[in-house]
Amino acid sequence: MRLDGDNKILDPGYMIGGTEVEAQKQCLPFLAQYKREGDTFGWEPTYYVTKLEQRDPTHIDFELTEGLIWSNGYGPLMASDVKYSYERMKGTDWGGYFEALDHVEVTGDRTGTIVLNKPFAPFFMVTLCHGPGAILCEKATKDAGGKFTTKFPAICGPYTYDQIPGQRTTFALNPEWTGPKPGFDTVTLQVITEVKAAELAYEAGELDCTELGADTMARYAAAMPPNSSLTTAGELQYMWMGMNTEHPKLQNKLVRQAIQHAVDVDSILAGAYSGTTTKSNGIVCPGLIGHRDATKSYSYDPAKARELMDASGETGLTLTLRTLNNQERMLTSQIIQANLAVIGITVEILPLDSGPFWEMGSESAGDTWQDLQLWTMRFAGTPDPYEAAQWFVSSQVGVWNWERWTDPEYDRLYEAGLAESDPEKRNDIYLKMQDIMEETGAYVWINHEPEAYVHGTDIQISAAPSGELDYRRFARI
Amino acid sequence: MIAYLTKRLGLSVAVVFLVVLILFSLLQLIPGDPATVALGPRATPEAIARYAEKMHLDAPVWQQFLIYAGNAATGDLGIDVFTERSVTTIILERIGFTLALIFVAMGWAMLLGIPLGCLAAVKPNTWVDRITGILSVGTIAVPSFLVSIWAILIFAVNLRWLPAIGAGEPGDTADQLTHLILPAFAVGLSWVGYLARMVRASMLEVMGETYIRSARAFGLTQRRIVFGYALRVAILPTITLIGMGFGGLISAAVFAEIIFARPGLGKLIFDSVMARNFPVVQGGVLVATTLYLGVVLFSDLLIAWIDPRVRDSL
């Protein structure tokens, strides 16, 4: 398998994310896990619990499976470990996932109740199923000084964890594991930074499974390598072109609306992504509550775009489009550049490495946010619309809301969406929130890029909707 | 020779000091608080405070520099901001792979390039010379990353003779050597051309010298003249080129380490730049520079040992 870089911080409270979550899923207990139901996603209890039930909107009762023990002599998995792990998370970098947690009540060695301070509909999907929902061994973590980086203080899962920095990570069968035996005795992950190198390694027979880039997906769709299958995880990535509503060149809403109408998203999907991605109409991804089937206030219409530009009174506009310097984003930017030239806007493309790119709109990282005009952006998340919606509330201006608009109605709907548990009502709430976003004129929705994996036909892989692989749920066919 | 060695060592130490100063200054020149810059925008106030204390950021800048330089002199290159591991340890884990790649790449290039250059020089303007010239220019002209990809496609994907990625099983020397073949081939190929051209040019010049004519007049064999006398003199500029070339190979190793997914110093620096892990970037660049200076110093000393006239030139 491919690993795109060394796991740096395995501690769920301080992790960077991504492959660290994959490691946690093999070695640490979780109360819930994702379940795919056709085109939608749900959750189910894991092997670690015999009971996981929501008693009322703020109480979740659980009972841990008997006989599961921590490594290194730290004894059985206890309800007190759940209490320690979850309450500890509130003060960590990933504390936002536990904002709704009040406390965990321990009612027995293996039983307890998670008590929320307010109804929080996404708690199962966003918190319990994802990396932050990992349970740590209280004693082992305290013995390690309260946090850890590249070694788990104790594990309780089907696999042990071993990392040779820069080379590989190996998951081998945990001899102390009493739960179901996974499909493979050993899973070895090679550190391969570039996805193209991993694709070549797969074709050379050195990997059994790897992630694919969009162009290779298209190539494989036409002709798969022998004895290979393609598995697509969720399309939980949403990409758009953003506009800074506070920038003097973009303060005129008519200009922003003209840009919305001028960008030919279908050409981007065909030209930059080889037709392998789904057209986006908002921030909520396919298969989730609140997914939009179409845009409401704009569509590709160059004539309308020219009318809007004329009405705006702006002429000879030159804008800078910042983008990550990878192949797909550069092609996307070049198509946008050509589209906007049609309505008289000159676009200068500024490719950036990931370091400066990911902090260019952050007020805490310098003054670049003041110069931001246009940019292509892609976020990813967990399978609940709350995750995507949270980045655009008023308090996120200058943090992740780089478009820098605020709307009290959006903020109110965000809180309502968290508290509401009726799926239909939640659906309406998130649709309305995306209408508000679109009406700002600050967004051109582009696509939902799938996480796609190629693997041997004799292997069944398991991927979370957000793309993280769960090796313990892999199986031989 | 000792005076020459002392002078060259002094010069190298001065360059290392300058590099330390530049590396330290770069972090100071980046806008914003150095702790925030080093740890990134996600860092918590507590982490920033811990880092500031650990790196003595509350002290005057000149004191910070002295502490940094003093620590570097004792092999303490700081702490990785993510894993909190020692940067020195992280670099030591990787540097062997880069050194192996560079030495094997340059080694095979020398073994092939130097004889090719000699062959072309002793048979000037013949078909041998012309073919050698075409091959040399060809290997120089083809970008190494292209060679890497073609090598993987041919030898790993199609023929499946050699592995495409990784550095091999730890402790299994044969496996590690097998994994070294394609990267070393890709990195070293252009050097075959460089060395062949350089040796040919030097040899042609030397072969026209009067002492070579005298050697011929004394009836020495062509083999003895070429390898016993001419090459000994003609090799001097080539040694300088090889010394300088190691610097280029450290850079070339970056792409090879990325394409062939090998661990190494270049990839470590690249990944750390991408992650804005500045202590590792600083440590990696310092070690790479020191390594380069070491090789250049060695090549200078070798030349001085072969040609005593050089010792007086510094």
Distance CA A100, CA A87 (A): 11
Chosen for mutation from B27, B30, B83, B159 (greatest number of chain A CBs closer than 10 Å) is B83
Residue A406, Ramachandran bin (φ over 0: left; ψ between -120 and 50: alpha; else beta):
beta
Taken as a whole, chain B contains a residue count of 314
* pLDDT above 60 for B42: no
Contact criterion met (CB below 8 Å) for B237 and B198: yes
Chain B within 8 Å of A146 (Cβ-Cβ)?
A: no
If you compute the radius of gyration of chain A from its CA atoms, what whole number of angstroms results? Answer: 23
Q: What is the pLDDT of residues B242-287, one digit of tens each?
A: 888 887 788 788 888 989 999 999 889 988 887 778 889 889 999 9
Distance CA B63, CA A337 (A): 50
Tokens of B148: 């890497």
User: B43: pLDDT confidence band, cut at 50, 70 and 90?
Assistant: low
Give the model's pLDDT for residue A221.
84
Chain B within 8 Å of A365 (Cβ-Cβ)?
A: yes
Supply the angle between the helices A408-419 and A423-439 in degrees, to the nearest 10. Answer: 160
Distance CA A202, CA A217 (A): 13
Q: Taking CB atoms and an 8 Å limit, are A355 and B276 in contact across chains?
A: yes
If you compute the radius of gyration of chain B from its CA atoms, what whole number of angstroms results? Answer: 24
Count how many pairs of residues, chain A against chain B, have C-beta atoms within 8 Å: 99
In the block, which residue shows the tokens 């179409």?
A294
Of B41, B164, B267, the CB nearest to A364: B41
Give the model's pLDDT for residue A392.
96
Bridge partners for A460 per DSSP: A475
The residue in chain A having the minimum alpha-carbon distance to the alpha carbon of residue B262 is A167
Count CB atoms within 10 A of the CB of residue B125.
Answer: 8
Give the model's pLDDT for residue B314.
55
Range B66-71, long-range pairs (CB < 8 A, 24+ positions): B68/B20, B68/B24, B69/B17, B69/B20, B69/B21, B69/B24
Chain A within 8 Å of B181 (Cβ-Cβ)?
A: no
Give the model's pLDDT for residue B236.
86
Contacts with A462 (C-beta within 8 Å, 6 or more apart), sequence order: A469, A470, A471, A473, A474
User: B36: pLDDT confidence band, cut at 50, 70 and 90?
Assistant: low
Q: Taking CB atoms and an 8 Å limit, are A206 and B263 in contact across chains?
A: no
User: B304: pLDDT confidence band, cut at 50, 70 and 90?
Assistant: confident
Give the model's pLDDT for residue B46.
66
Q: What is the pLDDT of residues A212-233, one digit of tens each?
A: 988 898 889 889 999 999 998 8
Give the model's pLDDT for residue B173.
92
Q: Where are the beta strands (DSSP E) in A46-143?
A: 49-56, 59-64, 101-106, 111-116
Instruction: Check residues B39 and B83 and name the one with the higher pLDDT.
Output: B83
3-state DSSP helix/strand/coil percent for chain B, to nearest 5?
80, 0, 20
Distance CA A203, CA A200 (A): 5
Contact criterion met (CB below 8 Å) for A233 and A462: no
Give the model's pLDDT for residue B254.
85
Terminal CA-CA length for chain A: 18
Full-model pTM: 0.82
Distance from the A8 Cα atom to the nearest Cα atom in chain B, whole angstroms: 5
Distance from the B287 Cα atom to the nearest Cα atom in chain A, whole angstroms: 17
Name which of A61, A120, A62 is nearest A96 in CA terms.
A120
Give the model's pLDDT for residue A182.
95
Task: Write out the H or E segment, with its range, that includes residue B156.
Answer: none
Contact criterion met (CB below 8 Å) for B261 and A191: yes
Contacts of B274 in chain A (CB under 8 A): 353-355
Could you please state the CATH topology (level 3) that the domain comprising B95-262 is classified under.
MetI-like fold (1.10.3720)
Supply the angle between the helices B87-122 and B127-141 in degrees, to the nearest 10. Answer: 160
* pLDDT above 70 for B33: no
Return the amino acid letter for A424.
Answer: E
Give the model's pLDDT for residue B180.
95
Distance CA B17, CA A350 (A): 35
Give the model's pLDDT for residue A300.
97
Contacts of B93 in chain A (CB under 8 A): 165-166
Of B83, B258, B263, the CB nearest to A167: B263
Q: What is the Cα B150 distance to its own chain's centre?
A: 23
Contacts of A95 in chain B (CB under 8 A): none
Tokens of A163: 């990392």
Mean pLDDT by 10 residues, chain A (477 residues): 90 86 95 84 93 95 96 96 96 87 97 95 90 96 94 97 93 95 95 91 94 88 91 87 97 97 96 91 92 95 96 95 92 97 97 84 86 94 88 93 97 93 93 97 94 93 86 92
pLDDT, mean over chain B:
86
Distance CA B254, CA B256 (A): 5
- Residues 14-53 on A with a CB inside 8 Å of B are 16
Give the model's pLDDT for residue A235.
80
Chain B within 8 Å of A352 (Cβ-Cβ)?
A: no
The residue in chain B having the minimum alpha-carbon distance to the alpha carbon of residue A207 is B165
In the block, which residue shows the tokens 């946690």?
A24
Contact criterion met (CB below 8 Å) for A323 and A337: no
Q: Exposed e or buried b for every residue in B147-181, given b needs 16+ CB within 10 A?
A: bbbebbeebbbeeeebbbbbbbeeeeeeebeebbb
Contact criterion met (CB below 8 Å) for B234 and B199: yes
